[in-house]
């Protein structure tokens, strides 16, 4: 398998630190609001990565954190006049539910900042002892970026002392504008923790380093984890700072491979609070099955910038529909076959830095071939076996086609409408038997008004949500 390492900026063959095992850490959400499409994209990308690694016979230990200590959370709690914990628990659950709806499996480990404080304290102490951190007069503790000669080697930024730094009105007590907080001494009591350094709260960058050390790292290895991932915006300063913390407090570098997924834009613009164009996952899920959203967000290479729009989402649905129609065609059959050439090719494509486009092209080709043969030789048992096996493989490795195909095509149609449609179909079939096509066409128009389409097949008349 090959992975593009966004720090070395090249595609590298993936060789795990320990044979047969992979440690993966991905920066998770700060739980103060619902997940937007960007969160979904990131979760989806690393869900896919995990599946591919598994398919290669590797045992993946995947950790994704929940940041439940943050100024934004405090603000939200204040605005809504709610308890901090109420906010974080609510949005953590929302996150889990939303991720589940797009087929993202839960990571093995989901550490929370509030549950990892001791690990952070230990790391701060070691940084202080080693001369990499200092305490200011007002009790804040900063990482001394000047003390790390490898600082900025990750993002390959040029240290500039110039006026650029001036625009950030940071604490004048910092030795260097680039220094970042490990511990913020806070006097208010909204969200503070007792520590050996007094009361306050930890800096954001610290939690990831500490969690990796606590849950995934082994001191004897050259890196804390095999793969560290996150959104492209995290490379600097977040990952740069994480890397510095780990480098200076332990005897190894943080990660062997770095992976950063591209951004999701809305109509060509970055999603942001200030632009007011955030697109929440839950809104997309009102219109489309979660798997359609999954398919759409995954259908473009993970490193590319992704421009979200509803037209392309609808197009993605049409492509996913083809998988489900083939599944519907073979519904109820329980046949098995050995690994097929298609499956080998699919994995090979995904092993090349997750080349999803090639993978989807292979799937389309497989579907076409299967449909063609099924059209002409309906009793082709060997092909059916092979096709079912291929569909099962697609489900497992990509998470496409996991639902009951009939239910999939009925997304958004309520029970009342369903029974009404069923009645009308019966009436129409009667009319058809009587060769009363005028009446059957009239009934079809009536059925279509439910926003569905009809298909007459040898095994009966079916409808699908358009």
Partner RNA sequence: GGUGCCAUCGCCAAGUGGUAAGGCCGCAGCCUGCAAAGCUGCUAUCCCCAGUUCAAAUCUGGGUGGCACCUCCA
Residues 30-69 touching RNA, rule: CB under 7 A, are 30, 36-39, 41-42, 67
Question: Which among 14-22, 142-150, 183-191, 226-234 is the span making contact with RNA, rule CB under 7 A?
Answer: 226-234
Stretch that binds RNA, among 267-275, 282-290, 388-396, 413-421 (CB under 7 A): 267-275
Cα 191 to Cα 85: distance, rounded to the nearest angstrom: 10
SS (H, E, C) the chain: CEEEECCCCEEEECCCCECCEEEEEECCCECCCCCEHHHHHHHHHHHHHHHHHHHCCCEEEEEECEECCCHHHHHHHHHHCCCHHHHHHHHHHHHHHHHHHCCCCCCCECCEHHHCHHHHHHHHHHHHHCCCEEECCCCCEEECHHHCCCCCCCCCCCCCCCHHHHHCCCCCCCCCCCCEEEEEECCCCCCCEEECCEEEEECHHHHHHHHHHHHCCCCCCCEEEEEEEEEHHHHHHHHHHHHHHHHHHCCCEEEEEEEEECCEEECCEECCCCCCCCCEHHHHHHHCCHHHHHHHHHCCCCCCCEEECHHHHHHHHHHHHHHHHHHHHCCCCCCCCCCCHHHHHHHHHHHECCCHHHHHHHHHHHHHHHHHHHHHCCCCHHHHHHHHHHHHHHHHHHCCCCCCHHHHCCCCCCHHHHHHHHHHHHHHHHHHHCCCHHHHHHHHHHHHCCCEEEEEECCEEEEEEC
Among the candidate windows 78-86, 129-137, 142-150, 455-463, which touches RNA by CB under 7 A? Answer: 455-463
Please say which residue, 130 or 448, places its beta carbon nearer to RNA: 448
By CB under 7 A, which span of 17-25, 219-227, 266-274, 280-288 interacts with RNA?
Answer: 266-274
306 belongs to the binding site for RNA (CB under 7 A): yes
Contact call for residue 365 and RNA (CB under 7 A):
yes
456 binds RNA per the rule CB under 7 A: yes
Distances (CA, A) of 332 to 328, 388, 396: 8, 10, 18
Residue 18 binding RNA, by CB under 7 A: no
Nearer to RNA, 158 or 222 (CB): 158
* Total residues in contact with RNA, by rule CB under 7 A: 82
441 binds RNA (CB under 7 A): yes
Q: Which residue from 230, 290, 399, 405 is in contact with RNA, where contact means CB under 7 A?
A: 230
Looking at beta carbons only, is 311 or 415 nearer to RNA?
311
> Judged by CB under 7 A, does residue 252 bind RNA?
no
Query: Using the rule CB under 7 A, is 233 a contact of RNA?
Result: yes
Write out the two tokens for 190. Answer: 């909204």
Among 18, 339, 368, 419, binds RNA (CB under 7 A): 368
Q: How far is the CB of 88 from RNA (least distance, A)?
A: 14
Residue choice 24, 27, 74, 421 for contact with RNA (CB under 7 A):
27
Q: Which stretch binds RNA (CB under 7 A): 116-124, 209-217, 309-317, 377-385?
A: 309-317
Asked if residue 304 binds RNA (CB under 7 A), the reply is yes
CB-nearer residue toward RNA: 216 or 360? 360
| Position among 125, 337, 355, 427 found at the interface with RNA (CB under 7 A) | 355
Least spacing, CB of residue 82 vs RNA, in Å:
20
Is the CB of 101 or the CB of 265 nearer to RNA?
265
Print the binding letters for residues 66-95 with RNA: x by CB under 7 A, - otherwise: -x--x-x-----------------------
Taking CB under 7 A as the binding criterion, the range among 15-23, 107-115, 245-253, 308-316 that sits at the site for RNA is 308-316
Q: Does 165 bind RNA (CB under 7 A)?
A: yes
Closest CB to RNA among 256 and 300?
Answer: 300
Residues in the chain: 466
Q: Under the criterion CB under 7 A, does residue 440 sit at the interface with RNA?
A: yes
User: In terms of Cα–Cα distance, which of 333, 348, 460, 352 is closest to 391?
Assistant: 333
Contacting residue, 13, 137, 149, 164, with RNA by CB under 7 A: 164
Question: Which segment (102-110, 283-291, 381-389, 450-458) binds RNA by CB under 7 A?
Answer: 450-458
Task: Tell me how far apart the alpha carbons of residues 216 and 229 are, in angstroms, rounded to a whole number.
Answer: 14
Dihedral of CA atoms 118, 123, 124, 130 in degrees, nearest 10, equals 150
Based on CB atoms, which residue is closest to RNA, 125 or 170? 170
**What are the C-alpha distances in Å from 107 to residues 43, 44, 235, 449?**
10, 12, 22, 43
Can you tell me which of 282, 418, 432, 465 binds RNA, judged by CB under 7 A? 432
Buried b (16+ CB within 10 A) or exposed e, 202-223: bbbbbbbbbbbbbbbbeeebeb
Six-digit token string for 292: 């359609």
For RNA, the binding residues in 395-424 under the rule CB under 7 A are none
Note whether 156 binds RNA by CB under 7 A.
Answer: yes
Residues within window 269-288 making contact with RNA, judged by CB under 7 A = 269-272
Smallest gap from Cβ 384 to RNA, in A, equals 14
Q: Which of 13, 19, 311, 414 binds RNA (CB under 7 A)?
A: 311
Using the rule CB under 7 A, is 455 a contact of RNA?
yes
């Amino acid at each position: 398998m090959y992975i593009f390492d966004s720090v070395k900026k090249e595609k590298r063959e993936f060789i795990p630190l320990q044979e047969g095992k992979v440690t993966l850490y991905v920066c998770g959400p700060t739980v103060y609001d619902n997940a937007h499409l960007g969160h979904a994209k990131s979760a989806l990308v690393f869900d896919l990565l995990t599946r591919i690694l598994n398919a290669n016979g590797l045992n993946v230990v995947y950790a994704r954190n929940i940041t439940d200590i943050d100024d934004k959370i405090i603000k939200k709690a204040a605005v809504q006049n709610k308890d901090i914990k109420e906010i974080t628990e609510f949005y953590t659950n929302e996150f889990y539910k939303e991720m589940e709806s797009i087929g993202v499996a839960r990571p093995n480990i989901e550490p929370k900042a509030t549950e990892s404080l001791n690990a952070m304290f230990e790391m701060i102490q070691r940084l202080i002892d080693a001369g990499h951190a200092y305490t200011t007069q007002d009790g804040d503790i900063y990482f001394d970026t000047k003390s790390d000669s490898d600082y900025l080697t990750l993002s390959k930024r040029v240290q500039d002392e110039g006026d650029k730094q001036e625009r950030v009105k940071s604490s004048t007590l910092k030795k260097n504008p680039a220094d970042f907080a490990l511990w913020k001494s806070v006097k208010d009591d909204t969200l503070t923790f007792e520590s050996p350094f007094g009361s306050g709260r930890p800096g954001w960058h610290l939690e990831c380093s500490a969690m990796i050390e606590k849950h995934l790292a082994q001191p004897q290895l050259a890196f804390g984890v095999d793969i560290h991932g996150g959104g492209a915006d995290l490379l600097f300063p977040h990952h740069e700072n994480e890397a510095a913390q780990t480098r200076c407090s332990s005897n190894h570098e943080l990660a062997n491979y770095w992976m950063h997924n591209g951004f999701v834009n809305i109509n060509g613009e970055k999603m942001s609070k200030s632009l007011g164009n955030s697109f929440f996952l839950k809104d997309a899920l009102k219109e489309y099955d979660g798997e359609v959203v999954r398919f759409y967000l995954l259908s473009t290479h993970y490193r590319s910038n992704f421009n979200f729009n509803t037209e392309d989402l609808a197009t993605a649905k049409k492509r996913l529909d083809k998988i489900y129609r083939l599944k519907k065609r073979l519904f109820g059959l329980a046949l098995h076959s050995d690994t097929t050439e298609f499956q080998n090719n699919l994995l090979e494509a995904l092993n090349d830095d997750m080349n999803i486009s090639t993978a989807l092209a292979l799937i389309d080709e497989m579907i076409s071939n299967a449909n063609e043969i099924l059209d002409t030789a309906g009793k082709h048992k060997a092909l059916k076996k092979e096709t079912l096996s291929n569909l099962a493989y697609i489900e497992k490795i990509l998470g496409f086609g996991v639902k009951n195909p009939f239910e999939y095509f009925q997304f958004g149609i309520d029970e009342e409408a369903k029974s009404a449609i069923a009645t009308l179909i019966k009436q129409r079939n009667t009319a058809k038997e009587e060769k009363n096509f005028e009446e059957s066409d009239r009934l079809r128009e009536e059925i279509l008004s439910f926003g569905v389409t009809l298909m007459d097949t040898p095994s009966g008349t079916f409808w699908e949500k358009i």
